[in-house]
Structure 1
């Protein structure tokens, strides 16, 4: 693999304009096809086999007039005065004229009379509306009412399904990434190169996602999550390649040879790390929800595009940049140095094995140790204490996860400035918190006689957790009915979930199903909680197999998986503390604590497990490269960490900056994912890679690379180290650190 990647890098650096032109044509073709044949993102929360889905299917079949989407229009007088009937009637007339409006309910006034609620029913699904056209039509219909001085807010399925695009998150992440790259690489040209590569990959990935939307359901926030991950990994992969390319230039290699060596070494790590991310994304398919599968499709396309861009565009752009990738002082020294000090062309293109042994020889030279190397030696002198301390920190951060409660996002979780959140608060104050999440009882009158409906309604009214029960509504055919039940508590309250479970367990006769948004959210939360324990083993086992095949070290693979699980658990714990226990929810634009979104745990796990493996692969590739050259088990850890510490720290800082930028996104799911992944990467790059990895590898010594003979015969020979150096002889003694 390293040979092929080296040839690819050398060819791209030798003919950079051809490579760049090919990418321009590729992006243009993909975006053109997307414009011509692409679809629109749409959420599909249907879960076959759940009670809420069965009830909704009954209503869609026998109440076709209710099968479309709906919207709530809330009118409020800020002065507390009663709303005039004439103004409400005029508003109702305007709402009836909006496109696809099938019906508009009579205004329902509050007890104080200063608030009124109208419901607009549509004859199409919510996915029929493109972008904000449905919400814009409602605002236009209510313009006369707002001009008269009344507050008008919008809620319900249609407004809540729209999320305004927010380019601020990407801008903040890219700005912070540029600053970090300039500090890490010391050159503006070198710093801008990873950003260009990441943007090229995201551009191609965006077009692919649009094309996928034409043939399958892609969630509305899936492109945002895919861009978040693609931007982070794209910059990281390009940074790793650029850093290795600059190392080659500093050793005297010409541009083409440095690009070939960077692709053969760091490029192999990029392929392994990217493959781990892609393999982890397959776990989303096991969640049993099409929305999760769409996250996997979108992120898979984007990560694949940025990985291809890194392996081809980085050497091409590096070939164009030439020595400008070096710091200014290094360029001056390179120019001023006499020709005799530069290696001859034959030496520049020496054999791969000689290139491979050069770094080890350089490390044995009496050069001043870097801060990372001194830190690695310090950890190596106290490996037991370092291991125990890091485990205590990780377990302490993960502790809040034991009390984590999940619930799908709804209007009550949105930021206070959002119109859906304002409508939610107005309804809760005027009609009670349960009015934001009524339970719908779908009744099959072929199984339950219509004469028993009054008794059923009376029984429901007597329940202390029920605030109100609307009279049964029977369809024209007389074979189905629907009863609306308003709980005393809000949709996110645990008491509402208990009421739902109690009704389903022993409170309803045969032929009655509880459905509606709250019931569907509860079913989604339960299903995802169950599926989490299917996805986790699947992703872990696949990652173990991949790492074992590539590094031929089962101990390393098991240890890497365990450490990644600790990083993910710590991210879960911090996210629970921030959002559920209100340790920082208000700082992120939320007015109060909210449960963790049900969409987040599985999605975060699959993405984070792959991202955590990135740093593991980057580090272990250099450690194994040194180990194969020297046979020094402990010294290779120190030298491997010293050679990658700066790059990994810079890459992690970029990831944290990118993910933190997405924490300001108005969508609660994106906000939680941004915070969780920023914490996970920060913990992984500090506590895990800088303390736990060197400590445990020091304790294990040569056992890190133990491989049973029977497994050695079964595993294919897939060396990712440049030069494919042979493993050291067993009799060789390690050098003590």
Structure 2
């Protein structure tokens, strides 16, 4: 596999390096031209399943009412100076009326409630008063015409902010749509901040690792080309399906990480070959035949694992799946084409302006060799102790609490944060976190009244449930409030109990933030087994093709699972138990974001399998060259130890740079990914790999005869 491709690549990169690099730069120019404005074509995160009951209810209401049943955006009106808003003043009343009219002109705004037009403003729940009845503020509640509040709500928020300005009163913007829109804006800023932080640190590390000012730029070029190509892919994708903005962040981090990984492997192997053959075609051919093959195979495994996310219906996840798949393929292809072409073109000049401190990362490490041999002298003790340690870190997962997007998740410092805090303290929860009940079908008034009483008897329903209002003969709706935050356990229990109620021959649909979160968890639980199954199948098949073994792929799955469990356990310790959260400037919510767990599972498996490929490929090469299993393991770990640990450190820097984000789920993802690569590249590769391979001995390479014959024909081996 890959033999013909690698031979042609070797010939092309040696004989025509400048022409090849020129063609790649032309590709980058074309991709950059068409993909540079991709951000304008991307949608907001997209955590909801479009087929879920809550989304169905939102669409039904939008179709019948022309807008949602609960406000998606609220405008908080407070006195410009002083503590009291004089709503008896004609000027104030006229100004509030004008502002309501301006809100109604906003995009995707279907209805605006102005409490001052009601017979009893206080009864609307949209006015805050002092104990003696003086008005301190009021709210203009806006209902959206499109149920996609995460995306279209952002458009509505931006248009309303341009329209709603006042010199007479103070105005602020809150609710789910403004909160999520500010999270999206913050994410765009975080991408720039992360790059400004990561690139200087990465540059220093690359110089120390590659020991040359020229060579250190090679992975940055590969990463840049991969990013540009991915921008084009996302631009094309966005023309056909809604694509999430967050795919950009992941594409950037993963592209840089894999570029460092692959460029480091190829350059390091080329230095080994140059030491034997000089700067010759033979050295380049051997490099591409070995390291190039490993890089292509690794890119394929990363792409396969990431692409499994396309099975998820959430825009956030399937967009990242496509972006990750493209990044995996592009990073590998660009590394195999660009790095050898640059090495062939520059020859010895690739090491110009070098620093000569310490051994090269390509050198076999005596420290890693001693560690591997020491581990293999006590394999049972090391394997058991390491496994127990990782499982201990994973233990907090048994008692974790999950959270998701809500108006409570807007980071401190954002405009909507202060408004949200004020609204929560001074207004009923229905203003921002209402629960809408929609009844479809032929249902009598008596059945609706019975349902209202039953809903009112549910624990944690706050106050009296308003009577159902008929929108048509077969559609009725009401909106109620709960006494706790939208994503609290009590609110979720209340909504689950309401969803279990029956209403004659009709159907009861529940929408709102709480119902959306419940349906999100159900959707993830239903679709995750397909994703996990596909990743497991791809891992087993691809690693079998690499090793010819049945046991090594299974061992890799176990080690990946241990890494993932430990990482998620640490996230619970930090972000839920608050151990060290202050060091990360993390203000909450103190729970783990549910969609992030799915994302971390996939990316951790992809990168852990990537490292497994790098180690296994070298061990197999050495064993096929005549070494015993034990010696091949020790030498394989020694010869890849520096490379993998250096690559992991740099990838961790890239991911950790995103931890500066005040957006809670971005911070959790960043910390989780940095931990995953460090744990896998050190604890797992240094301790579990040699200990388990020593325990299995020659059985590491066992496979039934039919599978052996299959591997002999189709497996991965040096040409």
**Residue 375 (structure 1) aligned to one of 371, 374, 380:** 371
Shift of 1:436: 3.3
Give the conservation status (yes or no) of the 8 Å contact 2:258–2:328.
yes
Q: Deviations over 1:80-117 (max 9, x none)?
A: 71234315344324323434544321142124333322
Q: 2:234 aligns with which of 204, 209, 213?
A: 209
Q: Which deviates further from its counterpart, 220-229 or 64-73?
A: 64-73
| Higher alpha-carbon deviation: 669-678 or 566-575 | 669-678
Q: CA deviation at 1:327?
A: 7.1
Residue in structure 2 matched with residue 231 of structure 1 by the alignment: 256
Alignment partner of 1:181: what SS?
helix
Query: What is the CA distance between 1:232 and its match in structure 2?
Result: 1.3
Cross-structure match for 1:116? 138
Does the C-alpha gap of structure 1 residues 327 and 560 become closer, same or farther in structure 2, counting only changes over 3 Å?
farther
Q: Which residue of 2 aligns with 1:31?
A: 32
1:153 aligns with 2:154: no
- C-alpha RMSD of the superposition: 3.0
Contact 1:240–1:647 under 8 Å retained in 2: yes
* Residue 243 of structure 1: aligned partner: 268
How does 1:348-363 map onto structure 2 within 5 Å?
Answer: none
Q: How does 1:312-327 map to 2 (within 5 A)?
A: 312-326=337-351
Query: Residue 42 of structure 1: SS of its match in structure 2?
Result: coil
Deviation at 1:130, TM superposition (A): 8.7
Comparing 406-415 with 612-621, which one deviates more in the overlay? 406-415
Tell me, what secondary structure is at the counterpart of 1:110? strand
TM-score, normalised on structure 1? 0.86
Tell me if 1:294 matches 2:326.
Answer: no
Q: Deviations over 1:224-245 (max 9, x none)?
A: 2222222211221122112212
Instruction: Tell me if structure 1 keeps the 8 A contact 2:466–2:480.
Output: no
Listed as ranges, the matches of 1:301-316 within 5 Å are: 301-316=326-341
2:271 and 2:152 map into 1 onto residues whose CA distance is 47
- Bigger Cα displacement from structure 2, 430-439 vs 226-235: 430-439
Q: What are the equivalent positions in structure 2 for 1:151-230 lying under 5 Å apart? A: 152-157=172-177, 159-161=179-181, 163-164=184-185, 165-166=188-189, 167-230=192-255
Query: What per-residue deviation string (whole Å, max 9, x for no partner) do you get for residues 122-157 of structure 1?
Result: 545658979976444333334325xx6736133323
Question: Which residue of 133, 140, 159 maps to 1:137?
Answer: 159
Q: 1:586 to 1:438 in 2, by over 3 A?
A: farther
1:661 and 1:622 map into 2 onto residues whose CA distance is 31
Residues 288-330 of structure 1 show CA distances to partners (whole Å, capped at 9, x for unaligned) of 4454222211221222222221111111222333223337679
How far 1:76 moved relative to its partner?
Answer: 4.5
Distance 2:546 2:581 in 1: 42
1:576 maps to 572
Equivalents in 2 of 1:640, 1:541: separation in Å? 26
1:574, distance to aligned residue in structure 2 (A): 1.2
- SS of the residue corresponding to residue 73 of structure 2 reads strand
The residue aligned with 1:21 is 22
Tell me the equivalent position of 1:635: 631
Superimposed CA distance per residue, residues 189-229 of structure 1 (whole angstroms, 9 cap, x where no aligned partner): 11111011101111111111011101112122122222222
Q: Count residues with an aligned counterpart.
A: 687
**Paired residue for 2:112?**
104
CA distance in 2, matches of 1:397, 1:432: 41
Residues 106 and 455 of structure 1: CA distance in aligned 2, closer, same or farther (over 3 Å):
farther
Q: Does 1:697 align with 2:705?
A: no
Matches for 1:411-490 after TM superposition, within 5 Å: 411-432=407-428, 435-444=431-440, 446-469=441-464, 471-472=466-467, 474=469, 477-490=472-485
Determine helix, strand or coil for the equivalent of 1:599: helix
Distance 1:659 1:409 in 2: 21
- Compute the TM-score of the two structures, normalised by the length of structure 2: 0.88
- Pick one of 473, 486, 489 that aligns with 1:494: 489
Q: Please give the per-residue CA displacement for 1:599-629, whole angstroms capped at 9, x wherever unaligned.
A: 1122221221111011111111111111111
In structure 2, runs of 5+ residues without a counterpart are 116-125
Of the three residues 554, 560, 582, the one matched with 1:558 is: 554
Distance apart, 1:713 and its partner CA: 2.1
Residue 670 of structure 1, aligned match among 666, 690, 693 = 666
Structure 2: distance between partners of 1:502 and 1:530: 21
The CA deviation at 1:508 is: 5.5
| Alignment match, 2:397 | 401
Q: Name stretches of at least 5 consecutive residues in structure 1 with no aligned partner.
A: 333-358, 364-368, 725-737
What SS does structure 2 have at the residue aligned with 1:152?
A: strand
In 1, the alpha carbon distance for the partners of 2:555 and 2:369 equals: 22
For residues 78 and 443 of structure 2, what CA distance do their matches in structure 1 show?
41
What is the aligned partner in structure 2 of residue 539 from structure 1?
535
Aligned-residue offset at 1:536: 1.9
1:380-425 superposed Cα distances (whole Å, 9 cap, x missing partner): 2222221122112211111111122333222212321223333322
Q: Aligned equivalents of 1:171 and 1:320: distance in 2?
A: 30
Q: Residues 709, 62 of structure 1: CA spacing in aligned structure 2 closer, same or farther, 3 A cutoff? A: same
- Conservation of the 8 A alpha-carbon contact between 2:390 and 2:562: yes
Maintained 8 Å contact 2:571/2:668: yes
Between 195-204 and 50-59, report the one with greater CA deviation. 50-59
SS across alignment from 2:106:
coil
Partner of 2:120: none
How many angstroms apart in 1 are the aligned matches of 2:79 and 2:590?
28
Q: Distance in 2 between matches of 1:533 and 1:98?
A: 42
